[in-house]
């Protein structure tokens, strides 16, 4: 069975603060894929990043960065210098080696205040 | 925008009725997955269609059924609606199972059962 846990249900920060969203996963697959999606109030899930289990290199994209640590089964997401437009619900998701089914965490609601 | 479109955007049904939700996949994608997202929770996998056949199913009863058409668009049908079926229903299109790509989501259909 696969499981994704996002322990932080809600985070509130002031604009320009850095914020890290935690994600811990469980899987028995040796090859798997991790994702982060952003869900604004409109409802659509916006793809942010995909990471393969055999690639532990961290990634930076503008103000976004991701820290993948296989030893602790974590795939954390950091937003640097947060902005009001970053306010949304963020989901971490896992896909195993077979099929395209995504297992989502419960999400973290991020509120960035001006 | 992802190119995945869902209709309708909102729907109100009465308990016991039947509902059909529709999804047009992104160009070039022949796999469609459906997810149910209850309020305040992460999306839950319902089923996936590939080449017009069901290719994986989550923990949902048989009254949740689907179709995929030759143009890869898809329908989700729910019979004998229950109050707990009230949720945001998300459609995702992707490359064939086993191909390592991300899934792209539509804006969802918000179903309210009264």
Which of B41, B100, B105 has the CB atom closest to A106's CB atom?
B41
B49, B73 Cβ separation under 8 angstroms: no
Mean pLDDT of A41-65: 88
pLDDT at A70 over 70: yes
Q: Which long-range contacts (CB under 8 A, 24 or more apart) does A64-72 make?
A: A66/A36, A68/A34, A72/A24
Question: What is the share, in percent, of chain A residues with pLDDT greater than 90?
Answer: 76
* pLDDT tens per residue across span B67-86: 999 989 999 999 999 999 99
pLDDT digits (tens, 9 = 90+) for B91-112: 999 887 666 678 899 999 999 9
Mean of pLDDT values over A40-46: 90
- What are the structure tokens assigned to A55, written together? 């690639």
| Residues near A33 by beta carbon (within 8 Å), at least 6 away in sequence | A50, A51, A52, A53, A94, A95, B100
Whole-number average pLDDT of chain B: 92
3-class DSSP assignment, residue A70: helix
List of chain A residues whose C-beta atoms are within 8 Å of the C-beta of residue B44:
104
State pLDDT tens for residues B10-25: 999 999 999 999 999 8
Distance CA B68, CA B28 (A): 15
Instruction: With CB atoms and an 8 Å threshold, state whether B102 touches A47.
Output: yes
Split at pLDDT 50, 70, 90, the class of A99 is: low
Beta-carbon contacts of B40 under 8 Å, excluding residues fewer than 6 positions away, are none
User: Closest approach of chain A CAs to the CA of B41, in angstroms?
Assistant: 5
Are the beta carbons of A99 and B97 separated by less than 8 Å?
yes
B1 has pLDDT over 70: no
Task: Check B43 against A104: CB less than 8 A apart.
Answer: yes
């Amino acid at each position: 069975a696969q499981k994704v846990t996002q322990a932080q249900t809600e985070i509130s920060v002031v604009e320009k603060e850095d914020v890290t969203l935690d994600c811990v996963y469980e899987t028995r697959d040796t090859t798997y894929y991790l994702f982060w999606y952003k869900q604004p109030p409109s409802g659509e899930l916006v793809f942010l990043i995909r990471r393969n289990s055999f690639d532990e290199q961290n990634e930076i994209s503008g103000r976004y960065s991701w820290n993948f640590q296989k030893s602790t089964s974590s795939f954390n997401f950091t937003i640097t210098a947060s902005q009001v437009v970053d306010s949304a619900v963020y989901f971490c998701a896992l896909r195993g080696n077979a099929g395209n089914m995504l297992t989502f965490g419960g999400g973290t609601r991020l509120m960035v205040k001006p | 925008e992802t190119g995945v479109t869902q209709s309708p955007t909102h729907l109100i049904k009465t308990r016991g009725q039947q509902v059909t939700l529709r999804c047009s996949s992104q160009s070039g994608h022949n796999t469609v997955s459906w997810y149910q997202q209850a309020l305040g929770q992460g999306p839950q996998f319902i089923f996936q269609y590939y080449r017009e056949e069901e290719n994986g199913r989550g923990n949902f009863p048989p009254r949740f059924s689907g179709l995929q058409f030759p143009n890869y668009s898809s329908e989700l049908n729910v019979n004998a609606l229950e109050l707990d079926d009230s949720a945001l229903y998300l459609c995702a299109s992707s490359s064939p199972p086993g191909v390592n790509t991300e899934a792209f989501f539509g804006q969802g259909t918000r179903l309210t059962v009264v």
